[in-house]
């Protein structure tokens, strides 16, 4: 690789019966390689009869290409020569620097600046600055709706999960002043989603009803008819039309029906009251049991009853709301969010605010990426009340209800959007519906659905400028990118200015990508950060006594390794083992990532076959290439993770290891890299 120093060796064999003086020479292409100080192209060496002699030259790598080297050994009797070619790799990589920011709706005139630096040593034609911006994060919730609106089965839960998003979509767009037919203009993105879904043998985006008001009205009407028909004689709902009524499903249905009423859908009030009575009687019966304890199930029932100002209470059982409040320490975050909303519905603002403060103790934030989420320490995929997605959606609703101008709310929306499956919907119809509901309330409370401002983006004053008008009329149709690329973006420092004039929210992300050829490349990353560490594995032999097959005592020799951290430029010897540790830090759960660890030229992996292997908490597939070791992970969770593999130092020299890179295979904006490293290999 460019900038490396490598030792080229020649073994001169003498098969003659007498010692010989051999004139050994190395010819290298001057445009690619040059001899280091103290090394001559031609040397004379004495080679004993029937013996051999090694000759070393240390060369500096100058430029990329294909280097053909020739070694000659000449004597007065016999001579020989050999020519080989070696690829010389460019010292460089595609690097991405990223920034993000946001402006709130009530900031009527605001300017953000981004300072960025383009290196001198780069490939100018591969330089690109791109700014993406949007007046609301929840415009993306439109992408999730077709998944709910065409689910193939008709049980109670999926019927409601089809009915409720249709209702909420209609109401949200009405409040934004947007006709549903206008959304046809974003149909092109749905084509991309359909291609993704074809791999799963789904058809949900083929002819989506989300673009037709009449069809959406039909979905709402048919859904309401089916829900009415599925109500049991005792007022509750079962999983299917025939079955025992479930308190949870009844609460889920009632929650949807009350929301529909609030969205001006004509719902039979008698049907709702019969359902509420079933739910109230069920909860009272549960509270009369000896071992009743505050839980998310009871909090959900109390919340749904509170939508109509009702309580589950009698003299013997007591009041469910009071018992939940007293036992709120036993509630997980899901239950706390429901209790908070129930108290707010019953106009108990003081205690609702206290429960919200309890919830806020679990918030996590990243100021750099502007995301926030609530920790969910208890998780189990088979329990709806342990879902991190549903929990954060309910926390968002509680936050929007009590603190609609909170700075945490838009960051929480961003976290939810970044944790969608395939980037368009969540794990199931149920959590997708709850996320859409929470975001719908956020749109109305925050004012993000009513933008009316002029946006100006400029680079270096007035060198490159773009002005966009964003309003209700252009909510789905404005040009949302600002791009400067190639030689138009010169080397040096640049200032990007983003100015908003008028009411409305703005979210912007800036990506600077370039192919850098600078030396000592530094780490970068936003959503994903990667750190690479090298360890020398020092052998420590030891002996233990073991029992043989006949019960005799045997001494067995064993070997373990001590890990010694290698600092920049530390020396190792040929034959030493080196452990490479890649530590990735992720703000979110991500799928389909590739890790590429560029190896130093003087080292080779100890593994000889590609294949799957377990890592720290996840499974990866490892692929060995000439210049790198690649790992593919179909999913990693939020937090820190480690990948490890081993190298063996072989060829003496000074070698640059380009930064390791992690990136989304299908999301190029998701990218991070480690620092470059330098390794010196000595001859043993």
For 119-159, what is each residue's pLDDT tens digit? 999 999 999 999 988 887 666 666 666 655 554 445 676 77
**CATH 1.50.10.20 given to domain 137-446:** yes
Angle, helices 213-229 vs 156-176, to 10°: value is 140
Please give the model's pTM, rounded to 2 decimal places: 0.74
Question: Does 94 score more than 90 pLDDT?
Answer: yes
Phi, psi angle pair for 47, to nearest 5°: -115, 120
The whole-number pLDDT of residue 194 equals 45
Q: Please name the residue that has the structure tokens 């490479």.
A: 580
- 421 beta partners: 425
Give the Cα separation of 487 and 389 in Å (integer).
44
More confident residue, 199 or 441: 441
pLDDT bracket for residue 417 (50, 70, 90): confident
Least confident piece of the model among 118-127, 187-196, 674-683: 187-196
Ranges for all domains in the chain classified under CATH 2.60.120.1540: 93-135+451-516
Superfamily of domain 524-682: Alpha-macroglobulin, receptor-binding domain (2.60.40.690)
Tokens representing residue 162 in the block? 């089809």
Q: Are 337 and 391 in contact (CB under 8 A)?
A: yes
pLDDT at 222: 83
Which pLDDT does position 188 carry in this prediction? 41
Which pLDDT score, from 0 to 100, does residue 204 have?
41
CATH 3.40.50.1370 fits 93-135+451-516, yes or no: no
Within the chain, all domains assigned CATH 1.50.10.20 are found at 137-446
The pLDDT confidence band at residue 679, using thresholds 50, 70 and 90, is: very high
- 185: pLDDT confidence band, cut at 50, 70 and 90? low
Q: At what angle do helices 156-176 and 247-262 cross, to 10 degrees?
A: 20
pLDDT at 184 over 60: no
Reported as a pLDDT band with limits 50, 70 and 90, residue 534 is very high
pLDDT > 70? residue 425: no
pLDDT at 656: 94
Sign of the Cα torsion 278, 163, 402, 393 reads positive
Better-scored residue on pLDDT, 297 or 143? 297
Tell me which of 5-14, 157-166, 657-666, 674-683 is least confident: 157-166
Q: What pLDDT was estimated at residue 548? A: 85
The pLDDT, as a whole number, for residue 207 is 44
Enumerate the CATH 2.60.40.690 domain ranges in the chain, comma separated.
524-682
At residue 196, does pLDDT exceed 60? no
5-88 belongs to CATH 2.60.40.10:
yes
Q: What is the pLDDT of residues 562-585, one digit of tens each?
A: 999 999 888 999 999 999 999 999
pLDDT digits (tens, 9 = 90+) for 18-40: 999 999 999 999 999 999 999 99
**Which ranges in the chain are annotated with CATH 2.60.40.10?**
5-88
Q: How many CA atoms lie within 13 A of 171 on its CB side?
A: 22
- Tens of pLDDT, residue by residue over 354-409, are 999 999 999 998 888 888 999 876 554 445 556 788 889 999 999 999 998 888 99
Tens of pLDDT, residue by residue over 484-524, are 999 899 999 999 999 999 998 898 889 999 999 998 999 99
Three-class DSSP category at 324? helix
| pLDDT over 70 percentage in the chain | 87
Q: Which two tokens stand for residue 606?
A: 């100890």
Instruction: Tell me the pLDDT of the chain averaged across its residues.
Output: 85
């Amino acid at each position: 690789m460019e900038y490396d120093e490598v030792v080229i060796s020649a073994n001169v064999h003498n098969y003659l019966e007498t010692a010989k003086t051999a004139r050994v020479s190395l010819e290298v292409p001057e445009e690619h390689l040059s001899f280091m100080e103290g090394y001559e192209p031609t040397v004379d060496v004495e080679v004993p009869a029937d013996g051999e002699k090694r000759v070393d030259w240390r060369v500096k790598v100058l430029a990329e290409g294909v280097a053909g080297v020739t070694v000659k050994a000449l004597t007065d009797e016999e001579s020989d020569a050999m020519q080989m070619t070696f690829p010389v790799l460019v010292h460089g990589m595609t690097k991405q620097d990223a920034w993000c920011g946001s402006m709130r709706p009530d900031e009527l005139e605001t300017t953000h600046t981004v300072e960025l630096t383009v290196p001198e040593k780069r490939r100018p034609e591969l330089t690109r600055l791109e700014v993406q911006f949007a007046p609301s994060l929840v415009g993306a919730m439109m992408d999730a709706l077709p998944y709910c609106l065409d689910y193939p089965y008709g049980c109670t839960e999926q019927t409601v999960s089809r009915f409720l998003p249709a209702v909420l979509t209609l109401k949200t767009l009405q409040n934004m002043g947007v006709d549903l037919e206008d959304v046809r203009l974003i149909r092109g993105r749905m084509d991309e989603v359909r291609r993704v879904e074809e791999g799963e043998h789904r058809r949900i985006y083929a002819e989506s009803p989300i673009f037709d008001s009449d069809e959406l009205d039909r979905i709402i009407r048919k859904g309401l008819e089916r829900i009415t028909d599925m109500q049991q004689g005792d007022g509750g709902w079962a999983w299917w039309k025939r079955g025992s009524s479930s308190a949870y499903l009844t609460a889920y249905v009632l929650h949807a029906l009350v929301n529909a009423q609030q969205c001006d859908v004509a719902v039979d009030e008698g049907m709702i009251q019969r359902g509420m009575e079933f739910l109230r009687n069920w909860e009272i019966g549960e509270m009369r049991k000896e071992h009743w304890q505050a839980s998310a199930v009871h909090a959900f029932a109390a919340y749904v009853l509170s939508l109509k100002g009702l309580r589950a209470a009698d003299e013997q059982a007591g009041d469910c709301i009071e018992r939940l409040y007293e036992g709120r320490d036993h509630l997980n975050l899901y239950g706390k969010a429901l209790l908070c909303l129930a108290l707010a519905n019953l106009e108990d603002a003081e205690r609702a605010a206290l429960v919200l403060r309890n919830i806020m103790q679990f918030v996590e934030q990243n100021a750099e990426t502007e995301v926030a989420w609530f920790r969910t320490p208890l998780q189990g995929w088979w329990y709806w009340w342990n879902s991190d997605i549903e929990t954060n959606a309910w926390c968002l609703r509680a936050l929007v209800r009590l603190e609609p101008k909170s700075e945490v709310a838009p960051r929480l929306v961003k976290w939810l959007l970044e944790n969608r499956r395939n980037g368009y919907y969540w794990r199931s119809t149920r959590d997708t519906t709850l996320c859409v509901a929470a975001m719908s309330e956020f749109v109305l409370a925050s004012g993000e659905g009513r933008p009316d401002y002029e946006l100006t983006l400029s680079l270096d004053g007035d060198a490159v400028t773009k002005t966009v008008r964003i309003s209700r009329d252009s909510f789905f149709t404005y040009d949302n990118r600002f791009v400067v690329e190639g030689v138009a973006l010169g080397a040096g420092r640049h200032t990007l200015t983003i100015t908003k004039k008028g009411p409305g929210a703005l979210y912007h992300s800036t990506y600077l990508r370039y192919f850098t050829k600078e030396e000592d490349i530094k780490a970068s990353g936003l959503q994903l950060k990667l750190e690479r560490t090298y360890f020398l594995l020092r052998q420590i032999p030891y002996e233990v006594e073991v029992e043989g097959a006949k019960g005799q005592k045997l001494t067995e020799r064993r070997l373990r390794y001590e890990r010694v951290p290698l600092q920049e430029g530390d020396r190792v010897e040929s034959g030493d083992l080196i452990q490479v540790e890649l530590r990735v830090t992720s703000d979110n759960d991500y799928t389909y990532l590739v890790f590429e660890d560029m190896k130093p030229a003087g080292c080779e992996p100890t593994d000889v076959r590609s294949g799957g292997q377990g890592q720290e908490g996840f499974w990866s597939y490892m692929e060995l290439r000439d210049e790198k070791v690649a790992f593919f992970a179909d999913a990693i969770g939020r937090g820190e993770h480690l990948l490890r593999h081993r190298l063996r130092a072989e060829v003496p020299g000074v070698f640059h290891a380009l930064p390791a890179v992690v990136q989304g295979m299908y999301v190029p904006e998701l990218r991070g890299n480690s620092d470059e490293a330098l390794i010196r290999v000595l001859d043993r």
